[in-house]
Amino acid sequence: MSSEPSAQSITVADQRVSALLERPPAARALLVLGHGAGAGMRHPFMAATADRLAVEGIATLRYQFPYMESGLSRTDTPAVAMATVRAACAEAVRLTGDLPVIAGGKSFGGRMTSLAQAESPLAGVGGLVFLGFPLHPPKRPGTSRAEHLDRVTVPMLFLQGTRDDLADLELIRTVIGRLGPRATLHVVDGADHSFAVLKRSGRTADEVLAELAGAVAGWIEGVL
């Protein structure tokens, strides 16, 4: 059973950004969840993911990056985005000091989290979760966006769809192999970068979300 999200506020430099804390009864960990580049923390995918994780006993703190809070289309600079990740993680530890904390997010939010962790470890964060790591631009395969992951020492979970045009699956497997035992890959068959599946797959969006949440919860149980 989940609980209604409670509104929070996070200070980043001289700006305050919105956040939503969703903590189910008997929560056993908290995931700090950054949104993707084109949609904020209230996007249906973000809200549904938080709800599904709550069913699995995982609390979430969703938050806005400053550009999204201000209604801008261009993403923040990496420095601003990483400062936001750091502030959100510190707030998560403050709000739920009794719970183990994991951090990550959807696409842009996940990558900015890993960049922050690679630059300087996020205090109190025991692992990273990527909901569709954006390995490369569409139709421009490469792995340069993952080079910083070599400096991440906490466990990492990559959830990737087989139709993701921002992450060639074989290249993701190459990255995972390079990172060794601290990296885990969960492949969602037939899913694209947004984790949408084709009708002919016979699967519903709810079933995919349940798979994602179950994979995250199981991985968290194994690393904490």
> Using CA atoms, how far apart are residues 6 and 38, in angstroms rounded to an integer?
23
List beta partners, residue 33: 62, 104
Contact (Cβ atoms closer than 8 angstroms) between residue 146 and residue 135: yes
Q: Where are the domains of the chain?
A: 6-36+44-70+77-223
Q: Is the pLDDT of residue 36 over 70?
A: yes
- % residues pLDDT > 90 (the chain): 93
Q: Which two tokens stand for residue 81?
A: 């985005």
pLDDT of the residue at 13: 85
Distances (CA, A) of 165 to 27, 108, 122, 213: 34, 14, 29, 22
pLDDT of the residue at 112: 98
pLDDT for 121-140, tens place per residue? 999 999 999 999 999 999 99
Chain position carrying tokens 């550009």: 67
User: Quick one: three-class SS letters along 138-168?
Assistant: CCCCCCHHHHHHHHCCCCEEEEEECCCCCCC
Chain position carrying tokens 């993707």: 36
Q: Which two tokens stand for residue 18?
A: 């919105």
Given CATH 3.40.50.1820, say whether it is the number of domain 6-36+44-70+77-223: yes
Place 14 in a pLDDT band, splitting at 50, 70 and 90: confident
Average pLDDT (51-68) is 97
Q: Is the pLDDT of residue 2 over 80?
A: no
Q: Tell me 198's DSSP state.
A: -
Is pLDDT larger for residue 158 or for residue 200?
158
Q: How many CA atoms lie within 13 A of 54 on its CB side?
A: 19
> Using CA atoms, how far apart are residues 134 and 175, in angstroms rounded to an integer?
12
Lowest mean pLDDT among 1-5, 46-50, 65-69, 90-94: 1-5
pTM of the model: 0.96
Contact (Cβ atoms closer than 8 angstroms) between residue 32 and residue 107: no
- % residues pLDDT > 70 (the chain): 99
pLDDT for 148-192, tens place per residue? 999 999 999 999 999 999 999 999 999 999 999 999 999 999 999
Place 224 in a pLDDT band, splitting at 50, 70 and 90: confident
Q: Is the pLDDT of residue 1 over 60?
A: no
Give SS3 for 17.
strand
Phi and psi of 81, rounded to 5°? -60, -45
